[in-house]
Structure 1
Amino acid sequence: MTMMSTISGCDELSFQNLSENNLSLDDVYERILRFISMDPKGSYHFVIGTDSQVHRGHTKFVTGIVIHRIGRGAWACYRQLAVPRQLTSIREKLTLETSFSQRVAGYFDACAVNRMEDLLLPYIYQGAMLETFIDIDAGTEPVVNKTALYVQEMVDRVEAMGMYAPRVKPEACVASSYANRFTKHRMVL
């Protein structure tokens, strides 16, 4: 049995937020397009990030997707899944977090991002723009962050995708703040 097949809910890409449950990736994408179309003159950051928390008997992972209209609000959702064991290796946790973010980002490929950009294109000279990021829940300060040893490896992985720019702490707020808030409670397996 592979590691991926032991992950609870791994094949079910179901997202939620405070007002909706059971959103498919198609539902998420439709809501992102709707959010952008409400203000196509805006500047946007499209960000995906994952955080994890070790609980008794499992490690909970939360992947957040955020479309942020800079200075004027955001729409966000997240998905939860669990690895049915307590991960103790920082490198393994960080690798899985980055992998989960990349897997979700793979759905939002060049065609999907181009469609988001197409909504903004008529307003590009009025400041409309879209930047895409994958947040890595790691920091570069070795004294403060145990993850600093693995930052470059994760950054290289994200950069190899080509479409998404990597962000690390303190800029990696989707992973270190938004997703983090939903990792705190133990999942029922």
Structure 2
Amino acid sequence: MSAQDLTGVEPHTPAAGAPPPGGPADPGGPGEPAEPGAARLDLVEATTARHPDVAEVAAVLLDGAVTAALVPIDFASAPAIRDHLWAVLGDDAPATVALLAALPRDAAGEVDRAELRRVLAEDDPPRSTFVPPRSGRETQIAEVLQDVLDLPRVGLDDDFLELGGDSLRAIELVNQLDQRLGVQISLEDVFDAATVRKLAGGA
């Protein structure tokens, strides 16, 4: 099933040199913070709500970037949902996806967005924020992970297991790292150092 089938939105490929997805929009004027508008938050909510692993969602602005706070139906991978949204929405995708047991609501039953921002800022629920690779070696390892996991991108701190990695893919990762980069690691290394940052540090 394609991303368009799940969302009804044609997948978007960001232009070269575009700012990181989920980051601030252009400032409205001198001295004004760059803040995404309500239409963008609505788009993020509508697209995220169509994902099969999502029961409900609310998008809010936190520290100048969009965060999609969602309640999963059962098990959900925050990095996988985050990258699915990036593949569909491109620059309009949220920078961060956070998992909650429930969305805070007011007396009228509406999502209490002020309380939601407080929960995200203070309670530190499970979340995934895309951090791009920095060095050439990190970029190379991330590209191998992308190919093995069939993902559009893999961030510096994205966990192999949370992205859908399993024993068979771990074996493929070990082989691909050796063949393409000359990096020799064991299966135990893959599960112990399951992020690009850690794999690059031991390479």
TM class by shorter chain equals under 0.3
- Structure with more contact order per residue of length (Cα contacts < 8 Å, sep ≥ 6): 1
Larger proportion of strand: 1
Q: When the two structures are superposed, what TM-score results if normalisation uses the length of structure 1?
A: 0.26
Q: When the two structures are superposed, what TM-score results if normalisation uses the length of structure 2?
A: 0.25
